[in-house]
Amino acid sequence: MTRLHRDETYEVFIDSNLTDGYLTYGEYLHQGETEEEFLLSAHVCHPSLANDNCSGVALLTHLAKRMAGLRTRYSYRFLFAPGTIGAITWLARNEEHSQRVKHGLIISMVGDGGGPTYKKSRRGSTTIDRAVVHTIRHSGLTPTVLDFSPYGYDERQYCSPGFNLPVGLFQRSKFGEIPEYHTSADNLDFIAPNHLALSYRLIADTLDVVENDAVYCSTMPKCEPQLGRRGLYGMVGGDKNAAAANMATLWILNLSDGMHSLLDIAERANLPFAVIRRTAQLLQHNGLLAICGDANPTMV
């Protein structure tokens, strides 16, 4: 990396002209059971930088391949476009259908070992905001959660007041706060497969929350049902996760009143969503729960 000294003088010549040109972006739509979309976007205008943002392109490419073989509730749109102007162009070309986007994430700088860092959408309390925050707070790492600001990456275009879409920004280290940012030191030596794999896992876990959130009703809402004779209390005796599963059972039965979604319960119980979801499925299998609503009414 070339180091510049402040007392040196440099002459820079920019050979440019203003003419009609073109902009290229790529997108892939995985069709789900509904027309409602989850937008996942990475910028492609930094091809020489490994973390910012070849890492985001690589992660979303592998995620798109995985999603192609799955049956999903939402449709997933993967967008690969130049930063800022690419998002503006996509919005201009898709304004009529933009409100199909019910959740969205900008993926950037996901190959280093920092963070994770999440910047909320402009609305601040959307389902995607809650899902990401819940996931990273149960990741065992030390996450940073930032409120929205109109400075950053493409989330500021999707969150502009004329669209106000629920789109946040997921990163490991925050942009601009590491010495390698926008330098030749952002190379393949700076990122690592295990960091990319963990970033992938966190995004996949977030999608799992959004896909599987639902509202249940207890079939025996008047006092606690007898769990022991159903084999549901201490059902995995000796398992280190038994205590969490038992507490999940009690929380789910108490809050499954037709007004709380599984994500609501996971947040209230301070338990991972995956534990809540698995336990709810077990309770449903044993006749103690029934799906009585969609979490969509609370997805704003």
pLDDT tens profile 99-112:
999 999 999 999 99
pLDDT score at 62: 97
Query: For residues 149 and 167, what is the distance between their CA atoms, to the nearest angstrom?
Result: 12
Q: What digits encode the pLDDT tens for the residues 211-259?
A: 999 999 999 999 988 888 887 876 544 556 677 888 999 999 999 999 9
- Say whether domain 26-212 belongs to CATH 3.40.630.30: no
- DSSP E strand boundaries for 141-296: 144-146, 167-171, 214-218, 257-261, 289-294
Give tens-digit pLDDT for 10-62: 888 999 999 998 899 999 999 999 999 999 999 999 889 999 999 999 999 99
Domain boundaries, the chain: 26-212, 214-298
Q: How far is CA 57 from the centre of its chain?
A: 15
| Amino acid letter, 218 | S
Beta carbons within 8 Å of 9's beta carbon, 6+ residues apart:
none
Percent of the chain with pLDDT over 70: 94
| 214-298 fold | Arc Repressor Mutant, subunit A (1.10.10)
For residue 147, what pLDDT is reported? 98
Residue 149: pLDDT band with limits 50, 70, 90: very high
Q: In whole numbers, what is the pLDDT of the chain averaged over residues?
A: 92
Q: Give CA 2 to chain center in angstroms.
A: 36
Q: Which two tokens stand for residue 195?
A: 């960091």
Among 296, 267, 265, smallest CA distance to 283 is for 265
Domains 26-212 and 214-298 share a fold: no
